[in-house]
Amino acid sequence: MTVAFALTGIHKQYPQFTLSDISLSLPHGQIMGLVGVNGAGKTTLLRILTGLVRADRGDVRVLGLRMPEDQVAVKADTGFASEDMRLYKSQTLRWHMDLIAAIYPGWDENYARDLLRRFDLKSDQSIGGFSHGQRVKALLLLCFARRPRLLLLDEPTTGLDPVARSEVLEVLSDVLRDETRSVLFSSHNTHDVEQLADSISFLHQGRLIASQDKERFLDDWRRIVCFGDYTPEWPEIAAARRNGSVLELKVRDFCGELPARLAAHGLTVQSVDPMRLEDIFVTTVRAGAPA
């Protein structure tokens, strides 16, 4: 299996933050959602992949090349978009499009025009007159129309209104249908990740606390509500909350035999329900253990 990138034993130390012992890879042609609260280390990790930040130790390989030594070749086929990137306010979007087209031979003008229409952007308008949502969409247009093999997107939907967010997610869905391209996007919006990603990685306080296929995440976790006095302290129970005789359990690695085990200890199981990704993430972080 070929991979779009592979990180092994990555460590980056800052005065107030440490990205510690990150090992992570993305299979070619897949999309990975990187989930974490603000300050978890998502941007640092993406910037290491782009060569904008150099890891203190560890091995970084992107598109089969070693970083940062081969970053010129990597950047030619990698698209990076971050919410803190800035365009020239005095120049038009068309000026930016022509600039990118002159630098990157993979620029697809027909696709760029299609994105102009879908994002409802005017190429002859100066960037300074764009709203925040329009600037984000313009930046993504410049990134997508290059047709890079690897897309690295740092919080691509942050600050967008519902309509703009829907438009961006729709285009991202289209990108994902192209199996020759790979995508890593960070977000604290678990709904976007759950909607788009093939696999999901949880990052918290600079550490990777979970990473696996999205469907396995959703299949493995359950919320169980029971009645009774017994409160089990079993390894698969990540969280337990009691309200009188009502006991709510958040369970990882759920198996069909668990309700019977609970019943054997005098608990009456009222319901067994799937959990949303946001609930899984919050429970994992609070439990302080891998999912």
Annotated domain spans of the chain: 3-213, 222-274
pLDDT category of residue 102 using cuts at 50, 70 and 90: very high
Output the pLDDT for position 189. Answer: 83
| pLDDT, mean of residues 140-161 | 91
Q: What is the pLDDT of residues 61-86, one digit of tens each?
A: 999 999 999 999 999 999 999 878 88
Does the structure show a pLDDT above 60 at 290? no
**pLDDT by residue (tens digit) across 200-254?**
999 999 999 999 999 998 999 999 999 999 999 999 999 999 999 999 999 999 9
Amino acid at 174: D
- Do the Cβ atoms of 211 and 193 come closer than 8 Å? no
Other beta carbons less than 10 A from residue 38's beta carbon: 9
Reading the block at residue 259, the tokens are 């309700």
Judge whether residue 289 has pLDDT over 60: no
Binning pLDDT at 50, 70 and 90, where does residue 283 land? very high
**Kind of pairing, strands 78-82 and 237-243?**
unpaired
Residue 176 has pLDDT above 80, yes or no: no
Please give the Cα distance from 45 to 53 (Å, whole number): 8
What's the pLDDT at 160?
83
State the pTM of this model: 0.90
Mean pLDDT in residue range 122-144: 94
Integer Cα distance of 287 and 258 in angstroms:
20
Once rounded to an integer, what is the mean pLDDT over residues 45-73? Answer: 95
Q: What is the pLDDT of residue 8?
A: 98
pLDDT at 174 over 70: yes
Q: What is the pLDDT of residue 194?
A: 86
> Which is the CATH superfamily of the domain at 3-213?
P-loop containing nucleotide triphosphate hydrolases (3.40.50.300)
- How many residues does the structure list for the chain? 291
Give the HSE-up count for residue 51: Cα atoms under 13 Å, Cβ half-sphere: 17
The whole-angstrom separation of Cα 170 and Cα 165 is 9
- For 50, 214, 215, the CA distances from 196, given in Å and listed in that order, are 22, 10, 12
Q: What percent of the chain is modeled with pLDDT above 70?
A: 97
Per-residue confidence (pLDDT) for residue 173, from 0 to 100: 80
81: its two tokens: 């978009």
Rg of the Cα trace of the chain? 22
First to last CA, the chain: 24
Is residue 21's pLDDT more than 80? yes
Please report, rounded to a whole number, the percentage of residues in the chain having pLDDT higher than 90. 79
pLDDT for 168 equals 82
